[in-house]
Structures are given as structure tokens and as C-alpha cells.
Amino acid sequence: TENVFSAVYQEQLSGYMAGYAAVKLGYKHLGYLGGMAVPAVQRFGYGFLQGVDAAAKEMNIVSDVVVEYIYGGAFAGDADITGVMDVWYGEKAVECVFACGGGIFTSAAEAAAKVDGKVIGVDTDQAPVIDGMFGVEGMTITSAMKGLAPTVKTLLTAIVLEDNWAAYAGKIESLGLVSADPEANYVQLPMESTLWCDTFTQDDYKALVASMFDGSLVVSGDISAMPTTEVVVNTYDNIK
């Protein structure tokens, strides 16, 4: 309608960034715990797989990298989901799980805390929340963020300060990269809390974003089927 603006996000891009970063940071046995299999959650997950695969290929460790992939069927953690995460972190020795779906991260974090495991946050910089929940600094290695706050600020500026609502009214926009500067974009990793190291520095991340922005690196947003990867991806039925 003419009095509504709809913003959707290119979650596959920050999902890719997170998967790429995880492998570059040294993690080889990864997990993806999605909430419900809705388009945004799928885009995060499929982007994550593409990023993991690309980093593994660059590092020539494809045969060493494995991803476990599941949807919880809910947007909140509970005992059943935590039980699956206990198996992943414990019996399967998963090192890091991308928990993507509202409050479902609580189950991943609860299981991770028992074995010094790691978590990747979603939507916002979740390090303060996840690390603070169990008092474990460094549990969250990064977060695949989308710019909810910048979107609201942009729209309020247009409406209140610029009297330019007409530029947005009745439109649907898919928000992603607008700059080679990572912090200017609607999808990004957090500069402050990501656990940068010698094998994946801020400069490496900036180069990755620049290649996405100039089009030399293309991440698929197609969710009609899981992306084809050279790394092994083990899929499971929904928990709920």
C-alpha cells in the first residue's frame, strides 16, 4: 500500500561472511541451527554454507571441514533443542554453531558452555548477550548482522527531517551492500566483537566485503535448493 515501506535483507551476504570467517578463524566442524525454515533463516543458512565452502577451498582443507545442518522448528530454545545441541557439541565434537532464529541461540549457548564451545550470533551483535548469559567471554566468535537500526534511522530521517517519504512509500527494498566500507552496509559482521586473529584480520574482512561490493564475489540468494558444496554437509529432520 502507499503508506507502507517494506525492507527485506540479503541475509545470505552476512551468512556468507560468518561462514567464511569461522573457517578462516580455525574452526572445521561447524553447525547451523536455524529457527523455522522461513526465507530469511534459509538465506542465512545457505549463505553460511557458501562462505564455509569458499574458505575451505581457499585454505585447501575441504576434506577436513564438516557442517551439521538443522532447523529447530521454533524461534526459542528449549530442552529438546538443547539436547540436540548437547549431542552436537559433545558426541559429534562440533566446535561452533551458527544459531539463527530469535531466541533459539539460548539452546546452542547452553550446550556450548558445557564444553567450551563457540557460537555465532545473528541479526545484531549478540556477543554481549550470549557471552554474558553464561559469563564466558569469547563464546561468540562473530555475529551475522542485518541493519535493523540503520533502516529505521534512514526512514525516520527521510520522513521527519527530509520530508522525502515519497521516495519510500509503497516500495519493497532488498537491503544489502551500499559501500565497500563494511560498517556502512545493511549486512555485516561486528568490527568490535569479532574475534579477529592472524588468519582472519579486519583487513581480510574489508577485502572480502570489497569483493562482494564490486561484484567479483557473488553470493547466491536462491533458496529453492541447498547450495552445492565440496565440504560435507550433514542435514537432519527438523527438531520440532
Give me the pLDDT at residue 15, please: 98
Query: Is residue 147 predicted with pLDDT exceeding 90?
Result: no
Tens-place pLDDT, residues 180-227: 999 999 999 999 999 999 999 999 999 999 999 999 999 999 999 999
Q: How many CB atoms are closer than 10 A to CB 18? A: 29
**What confidence score (pLDDT) does residue 66 get?**
98
Q: Residue 49: which of 125, 100, 117, 90 has the closest Cα?
A: 100
pLDDT score of 156: 92
- Residue 36 is placed in which grid cell? 523455522
Choose between 49 and 155: higher pLDDT: 49
Model confidence pTM above 0.95: yes
Are the C-beta atoms of residues 86 and 111 closer than 8 Å to each other? yes
pLDDT at residue 8 in the model: 94
For 137, other C-beta atoms within 10 Å of its C-beta total 9
pLDDT at 162 exceeding the cut of 80: yes
Query: Grid coordinates in use for 90?
Result: 559433545
In tens, the pLDDT along 76-121 reads 999 999 999 999 999 999 999 999 999 999 999 999 999 999 999 9
pLDDT score, position 214: 98
Q: Which tens digits make up the pLDDT trace of 33-68?
A: 999 999 999 999 999 999 999 999 999 999 999 999
Query: What distances in angstroms separate CA 234 from CA 17, 31, 97, 170, 179, one per listed residue?
Result: 21, 9, 14, 41, 35
What angle do helix axes 127-134 and 105-115 make, rounded to 10 degrees? 50
Mean pLDDT across 24-30: 98
* Alpha-carbon gap, residue 50 to 227, rounded angstroms: 7
